[in-house]
Amino acid sequence: MMAIAIFITILTLLLLGIPVAFVFGSVAIVFAFFIPELGFGIFDILSLRIYGIMSNSTLMAVPLFIAMGLILEKSKMAERLLVSMSALFRDVRGGLAVSVVLVGAMLAASTGIVSASVVMMSVIALPLMLRAGYDKSLASSTIVASGTLGQIIPPSIILIILGDVMSVGVGELFMGAVLPGALLVTLYIVYILVRSYFSPELAPIPKEVKEVSIKEILLSIIPPLLLMFSVLGSIFAGIASPTESAAFGVIGAIILSLINKSLNFEMLKYASQGSVKLSGMIFMILIASTAFSLVFNELGGTDAIVEFFHEDIGNVWFFIAISMLVIFIVGFFIDFIEISFIIVPILVPVMIGFGIDPLWFAILIALNLQASFLTPPFGLALFFLKGVAGDSVSTSEIYRGIVPFILLQLLALGLVIAFPDLVFAFV
């Protein structure tokens, strides 16, 4: 009962908007103080846990990939990509939206940072789509859904975090996410083309599209593709670890920005400060969640959950259904980082007890967590777009347009559950 109480307290304080790290740490300390059988002695091994986190070579990839993404955000790469893709699909109804999806996928494979991708796409693509006469709901939802592809397409920050939490190799996670990510991109494109065909007024063919030569198209597409294949290819081929590839990616991003003539001191300062802030936030949450897990486990919370699912229920598919439903619903209210450090560690012992493959289960969680960025009313990606769009798109239009994309994500999740080989094809 005390384990349930601490869990409910955590969720309540998070919903009140209190910073995650402070919630985890303070709740753990308060419960340890007021429960006699615990006491502060439970935190004696916390310093060893923190040292283990800080010396984890896999987690070193997090600030490096963040820095790479922030440099690319300022390099004007997305703008050049969108112009080139729009020229390629200028004669296709819905082609501009298809271009946004493809650019979003390429940005996801280059940056891995959802917030940066959504903001970039909103600034560049939304005015272009609205001027072309696109329906506001379709335009805004396409941008938001495409910007969140960084959750599942490597090098995804969430995959690195899940790899650490679930003790799965990050390289294997990256390889396992390739086909599910491609499946999601395909579903988005098919939906846009089908809807544009039956409702042509929603996605008219732009009357004015900037003429772009084949040379310009190749020069805008090939460099980010080379960076993507260099970073991910070195991991897949076993040539470099994720951390080493991330370091190489930072150098590649600097070279790309130099080619685009956008490299300057202000960009490097922005990328450095941003990576320190985001990485600091993630590691603070990780340290505080470690304190929480010490108290939660000592109160028997994990044992009770394992006993409930493994002995009382004893059905692996029931466990998978419940865990996916809980992550999806909780994602309405709290961010993917909180879910990764609160919900996932509780599910891992049950997963092990049922003999579920951790790689497959991690990809399911990553697909599910992507929906947490899109689901109203608290989807962060929706707030990012609304902040950029201002009064040009209403909140109700954003919410109305995003529903089909959420359903497509759930369809992709169902397909990966039904066909596990989608995860293991390249592993």
Tokens 């929906």 label which residue?
371
Q: Which amino acid is at 34?
A: F
Where helices occur in 111-213 by DSSP H, the ranges are 114-131, 136-147, 157-165, 170-176, 178-198
Tokens 């390099």 label which residue?
75
Tokens 């956008």 label which residue?
262
The greatest distance separating any two alpha carbons of the chain, rounded to the nearest whole angstrom, comes to 74
Q: What is the pLDDT of residue 189?
A: 95
End-to-end CA distance of the chain: 41
Residues 6+ apart with CB under 8 A from 290: 46, 49, 50, 53
Residues 6+ apart with CB under 8 A from 419: none
Judged on CB neighbours under 10 Å (0-12, 13-18, 19+), 242 is buried
The domain containing residue 342 runs over which residues? 2-424
Query: What is the CA angle 350-353-354, rounded to 5?
Result: 90
d(CA 191, CA 269): 40
d(CA 220, CA 259): 11
Q: What is the pLDDT of residue 312?
A: 67
Q: What is the pLDDT of residue 409?
A: 92
Q: What is the pLDDT of residue 126?
A: 86
Q: Can you read off the two tokens belonging to residue 103?
A: 């650019």
d(CA 230, CA 224): 10
Cα–Cα nearest to 127, from 142, 109, 144, 139: 139
Q: What is the pLDDT of residue 192?
A: 94
d(CA 336, CA 347): 15
C-alpha dist (Å) from residue 316 to 131, 177, 309, 321, 369: 51, 22, 8, 9, 21
Tally of domains in the chain:
1
> Is the CB of residue 408 less than 8 Å from the CB of residue 187?
yes
pTM value is 0.85
Q: Which residues of the chain have pLDDT under 50?
A: none
d(CA 188, CA 192): 6
12: number of Cβ within 10 Å = 12
